[in-house]
Amino acid sequence: MSSINSCPDVLPVIPMNSLSGVYARFQADLNAAAARVIASGWTILGPEVDAFEEAWAAHVGSGHCIGVASGSDALQLALRALEVGSGDEVLTVANAGGYSTQAILAVGARPVFVDIHPHSLLLDETAIGGAISPRTRALIVTHLYGRMAPMPAILATCRAAGIPVIEDAAQAHGASWEGRQAGAWGELGCFSFYPTKNLGALGDGGAVCCSDAGLAARLRQLRQYGWQPKYQVQIPGGMNSRLDEIQAAFLRVLLPALPELNAARQQVAAQYSAVLGALPGGALPPRPTEAVDVAHLFVLRHARRDALRAALLARGIQTDIHYPLPDHLQPGFIARLAALGEPPMAPAGALPASEAACAEVFSLPCHPSLDAGQVQRVCDALREVW
């Protein structure tokens, strides 16, 4: 008992995220993929991107996939493909990291926030109707933390109002509702392949999926300056946003492992959930049985969040907050909206469920490289500090 080795102070820190384990496991194939691209002498929009787009469309169950430079660009290009711009309103939520709001503001449109369901922390489909105006041109729904939003109800409401739906599936690779995957429900499904996502490249990357051939053709033009053919700018709103060959080659290595990597996250989440279920007031709200969550993040909430995080950190366990400040209170977004000549966004207090969640949520380490000992340490620490 007096051994220095049992002193908790020397336990290694358990990080929120760690990618080296996954890279080590696939190192030989990743090296071979990089070598193949280098030997080919072709680095932008070539056979690797074509092959990955085909594989990802098939995986998602979507007719088309267009590889782009990031998840943020995917959202922006989706809006541009729908010709959303200045004077238009786009519905979204305020608690999902700001990515959708950033894209809406970037195309010159106005974000209009729908509050969230206090238990799922996802868009509250019953609040959509009250947010629709004659200027509403699209809705972006985020499958936050790896949880599918209730797509049948959301689509029914939006279709009745003639509003196209963009899914932000950047945290939901492989998640599904009634067997249909995230990104295959709305008019457009956006993905990020940022390294820490459930399917990640070794740098930036993203994709837009859709089933409409016309939208797919527009997206292929928009990701490359609006060209068709080369050097002829046929449509407005073009960008330079392409998925690199080398990133597509890495993604082709990791895609076959996605189900297994998701299962590893789900296993960690199940262990945390079991521990919390046995703690007073710790049980997480039940999730709909139709949904398969892919545990991108393990998020819980507590009124004394900051004290709990400090106590966990003292035990060597990193945590994070996804996300601390809702979009309608972000100074940069407020300034951008003013620069667009639009009236201010919703004031503080206007989105009670979103604001309450931002004040109480925090995230435990939940990734495929955690070993059984690390998960056990987090579980033990949770029981101690609760």
Ligand X SMILES: *Cc1c(COP(=O)(O)O)cnc(C)c1O
**Considering beta carbons, is residue 36 or 287 the nearer one to ligand X?**
287
Point out which span in 43-51, 86-94, 167-175, 178-186 binds ligand X (CB under 6 A).
167-175
In angstroms, what is the minimal distance from the CB of 97 to ligand X?
A: 5
Among 150, 164, 206, 316, binds ligand X (CB under 6 A): 206
Q: Are 68 and 209 in contact (CB under 8 A)?
A: no
Neighbours of 266 (CB within 10 A): 16
Which of 4, 173, 14, 168 minimizes the C-alpha distance to 97?
Answer: 168
Q: Rule CB under 6 A: is residue 97 a binding residue for ligand X?
A: yes
Q: Are 75 and 168 in contact (CB under 8 A)?
A: yes
Among 23, 26, 194, 386, binds ligand X (CB under 6 A): 194
In angstroms, what is the minimal distance from the CB of 136 to ligand X?
A: 21
Q: How many residues bind ligand X (CB under 6 A)?
A: 14
In angstroms, what is the minimal distance from the CB of 296 to ligand X?
A: 8
Q: Are 135 and 154 in contact (CB under 8 A)?
A: no
Point out which span in 91-99, 246-254, 258-266, 278-286 binds ligand X (CB under 6 A).
91-99
In angstroms, what is the minimal distance from the CB of 73 to ligand X?
A: 7
Pattern of binders to ligand X over 54-83, x per CB under 6 A? ----------------xxx-----------
Q: Rule CB under 6 A: is residue 192 a binding residue for ligand X?
A: yes
In angstroms, what is the minimal distance from the CB of 193 to ligand X?
A: 7
Pattern of binders to ligand X over 110-149, x per CB under 6 A? --------------------------------x-------
Neighbours of 344 (CB within 10 A): 9
Say which residues have a Cβ less than 8 Å from residue 146's Cβ, sequence separation at least 6.
171, 172, 175, 198, 265, 293, 294, 295, 296, 297
Q: Rule CB under 6 A: is residue 323 a binding residue for ligand X?
A: no
In angstroms, what is the minimal distance from the CB of 181 to ligand X?
A: 16
Compute the distance between CA of residue 322 and CA of residue 44 in angstroms, rounded to an integer: 33
Compute the distance between CA of residue 237 and CA of residue 113 in angstroms, rounded to an integer: 25
**Considering beta carbons, is residue 97 or 118 the nearer one to ligand X?**
97
In angstroms, what is the minimal distance from the CB of 126 to ligand X?
A: 22
Pattern of binders to ligand X over 223-262, x per CB under 6 A? ----------------------------------------
Sign of CA dihedral 336, 341, 342, 343: positive
Q: Rule CB under 6 A: is residue 96 a binding residue for ligand X?
A: yes
Q: Is 223 exposed, middle or buried (0-12, 13-18, 19+ CB in 10 A)?
A: buried
**Considering beta carbons, is residue 193 or 272 the nearer one to ligand X?**
193
Neighbours of 227 (CB within 10 A): 16
Among 52, 56, 99, 333, binds ligand X (CB under 6 A): 99
Question: What is the residue type of 81?
Answer: A
Q: Are 339 and 380 in contact (CB under 8 A)?
A: no
The β-bridge relationship of strands 110-113 and 64-68 is unpaired
The β-bridge relationship of strands 176-177 and 165-168 is unpaired
The residue number with the shortest CB distance to ligand X is 71
Among 168, 244, 293, 355, binds ligand X (CB under 6 A): 168
Which strands make up the sheet holding 176-177, listed edge to edge? 180-181, 176-177, 291-292
Compute the distance between CA of residue 368 and CA of residue 355 in angstroms, rounded to an integer: 30
In angstroms, what is the minimal distance from the CB of 23 to ligand X?
A: 18
In angstroms, what is the minimal distance from the CB of 72 to ligand X?
A: 3
Catalog residues that contact ligand X under the rule CB under 6 A.
70-72, 96-97, 99, 142, 168, 170-171, 192, 194, 204, 206
